[in-house]
Structures are given as structure tokens and as C-alpha cells.
Structure 1
């Protein structure tokens, strides 16, 4: 029996080369609000919250490459396509963050200035609660109470995660992964990327000024 195809990883450098040669269909599975802030030129927006593998577009002779903010949602979308019978599905590891880290350009929407409102930081890594609500509970019609009952936790625990008052630890990640058939570390990695992004914003510059890398002082 032939083995089932899997979602293939590709790094930002490889995706950039394919895109420059017009060999791929690049699909952004982040939400519309994220795409409007910043995106890769030429990427097609198909948010995971409304992702439908049955009507997924295809172009003859082109590979499909999915991407998101950090690579977790794109891999999940790729598995949905594989389950629907699609082949040659690829996702960009590290997502938009790795694309920018490699020095590649993005398109940024310039919003009109509002002098009355203070400048707010733009965050690209959503919290696990946002992903849980927007990409699982609401599309599937599952209430926080029902989810809590199905995975064996108190509803208050789910409410706190959805409100951003509580982090997702390894046990809750395992419970959510079991119920929604995601990778075991999917939810805890969302939490890690979310926390790291906010830590970089709040104290990243202070840390850079205070600490000299060991290799620089040798």
C-alpha cells in the first residue's frame, strides 16, 4: 500500500526562488487583519478560519506553498489539503517571520495617521486563544462550555485562554491536540511564539543594550 503524502517543508530562501521564477501559488492562511498589516507581494489570502479544501484553487504546473506567521497554521492547512486528496503541498517553515529574517521584502499597508490615538505596536503572532476562537470554535460551532466538557477541563480555564488571561501549558496543549487532531506541540508553540514576540517588543532593545554576545567579546 502506497504511503500517504505529507506536507513538505520549504525554507524562505527556496520559496523566494520559486516565487521569483513564477513556479508556485503562494497562499497566505493568516487572517485578513494580519494580511492587511503586512504580507508578501503576490500571495493569495485564504484565512484558515474559512479554509475550504474542497474548493481550493489550483494552477496547472504550479506547486502550492502555504504560509502563515510562524509556520504552524500553514502546516495545519496543508494537512487539510492532503486529507482532501491534494498532492505536492508545501508549507514555508518559520512563516512570515523567517521570510523577513532572511531580508526579503513585504508589502505594508500604510494606515492614515490618527493624532488623537497613541501609536500601538503591530503584533503578527496571535495568541492561542485567538486561534482557538477564530479558527476552531466559531467555524465549528463549538461553545467554550462544550469544549471544556469534551477535553476534561473547567470552563473557566477555556474562558481565561480565550480572553488572554491564561497561557496554554503542555497539558492543555495535549488535550486540545487530541480533540482537534493537531500536532501535540501545536498549541504550546503558538503560546511560545506569542510570548516571544511580546517580550521582544517590550524588552528586546533593553536586552540588546545590556548584554554583549559572548562571541563578540572573545
Structure 2
């Protein structure tokens, strides 16, 4: 049986890459980016996802791309969905299309 790696979490990314090295508390960060402290706590606890708005605020605060946190959250969500629903996804057969008649628009 294949051993699965643990999925990354947004908490580990935010905490390990930013908060811990910069010695920033939840309270200070929440105050500095003008969001409720509970909102940050919920994200770090895995009870809430990083929204586009929060990603922009965190990006500006930490001096990184404003979509990095949002993109990492979505990547984690995609990995989780694939892992949890792999059997169901494997049952789906692609819709047959003619080779010269493909349009993605």
C-alpha cells in the first residue's frame, strides 16, 4: 500500500515562513492589517480559508505577492479534494470530441 504524505496546511506556511521567523503574534498581525483577531485564529486553526481579501492584506503586510496566500490555500484545497475523491474522479470518462473541433472558449 502506498504511504501518503501529509498535506500541507496554510497554518504551517503562514506560521513557519512569516509569523515565527518575524516574531509576530496573531494579535499584532490582526491589528496591523485591520482584521479581527478571531479571523486569523480561525485560519490558523483550519476552521476558515484564506479569502482573496485576506490574501491581499497578508501579501502587503509581508511584502510578497498579494495572491500568494490565496493560491496556496486553493492548491491545498485541490490536493485535499483529489485525495478524498480519487476513486470517484477515476470513474469519470472524458467526453469524446473530434480532434479538429476543440474549443475551450
Q: CA deviation at 1:164?
A: 1.0
Q: For residue 83 of structure 2, what is the aligned residue in structure 1?
A: 201
Query: Structure 2: any 5+ residue segments left out of the alignment?
Result: 98-105
TM-score (norm 2): 0.84
Structure 1 pair 170–208 and aligned structure 2 pair: CA distance change class (3 A): same
Partner Cα separation in structure 1 for residue 40 and residue 4 of structure 2: 26
In 2, Cα distance between equivalents of 1:163 and 1:153: 16
- Deviation per CA, 1:63-113: give whole Å up to 9, x if none: xxxxxxxxxxxxxxxxxxxxxxxxxxxxxxxxxxxxxxxxxxxxxxxxxxx
Q: TM-score scaled by structure 1?
A: 0.42
The whole-number CA distance in structure 2 between the counterparts of 1:212 and 1:181 is: 44
In structure 1, C-alpha distance between the alignment counterparts of 2:3 and 2:19, rounded to whole Å: 28
Partner residue, 2:23: 141
Correspondence 1:184 to 2:78: no
User: Greater strand percent: which structure?
Assistant: 1
Per chain length, whose mean CA-contact separation is higher, i.e. which structure has more relative contact order (CA < 8 Å, sep 6+)? 2
C-alpha deviations, 1:27-66, integer Å up to 9, x for none?
xxxxxxxxxxxxxxxxxxxxxxxxxxxxxxxxxxxxxxxx
2:100 alignment partner in structure 1: none
**Which blocks of at least 5 consecutive residues in structure 1 are unaligned?**
1-118
Among candidates 19, 35, 44, match of residue 153 of structure 1: 35
1:120 CA drift (Å) = 7.1
Aligned length: 96
* Contact in 2 for aligned 1:123/1:197 (Cα 8 Å): no
| Residue 132 (1) aligns with residue 19 (2) | no
Change (3 A) 1:143 1:183: same
Higher helix share: 2
